[in-house]
Amino acid sequence: MSESSTTTSRDLRFGSVGVGDRLPEMRHVPTRLQLFRYSAVTWNSHRIHFDPDYAAHEGYPDVLVQSHLHGAFLVTLCTEWAGASGRLARLEVSVRRFAVPGDVLVCAGEVTGVEQVDGTHGLVHLSVTETRESDATVCAIATASVALPL
């Protein structure tokens, strides 16, 4: 699990961002314990996320990472990059393939567009992915928009 936090110190500015910039990658290795706590705090009682026997019955190798946990990993990628002065304005996420505990999930992103909104802020558009490191399977893809001060 990634525990880095640059959020307190980074002060990213719109003017210092350009199309093609890459976000620092983040790695997450979900565990059964993490999935249990995520199901608990979201009051999600679906067995597919905590009962390995049920998951096997459905044909899966282990319990499945919740779709919103995939989303949360991508949120963190964006907010860590945006830093304290930035704000995540939008995230459109689509989960494509399942992931299970022990998978190394690599979150990566790239700036695809920049757009000045007004005299004080700009929007940066990002393309982000969450990929399983072992076989390069893309588990989730998203587009995001981050508001940054000029």
| Host H or E run for residue 142 | strand 137-149
Cβ closer to another protein: 14 or 73? 73
Q: How far is the CB of 68 from another protein (least distance, A)?
A: 4
Sole binder of another protein in the list 84, 117, 138, 150 (CB under 8 A):
84
Q: How far is the CB of 145 from another protein (least distance, A)?
A: 9
Stretch that binds another protein, among 9-17, 92-100, 103-111, 125-133 (CB under 8 A): 92-100
* Burial class of 143 by CB neighbour count within 10 A (0 to 12, 13 to 18, 19+): middle
User: Per CB under 8 A, does 118 bind another protein?
Assistant: no
Q: How far is the CB of 58 from another protein (least distance, A)?
A: 8
User: Per CB under 8 A, does 73 bind another protein?
Assistant: yes
One-letter identity of residue 67: S
Give CA angle at 18 (12, 19), nearest 5°.
Answer: 130
Contacts 24+ apart (CB under 8 A), 8-11: 8/84, 9/83, 9/84, 10/80, 10/81, 10/82, 10/83, 10/84, 10/85, 11/83, 11/84, 11/85
User: Per CB under 8 A, does 129 bind another protein?
Assistant: no
Positions that interact with another protein (CB under 8 A):
1-5, 7-8, 28, 34, 37-38, 40-48, 51, 54, 66-69, 71-73, 75-76, 79-80, 84, 87-95
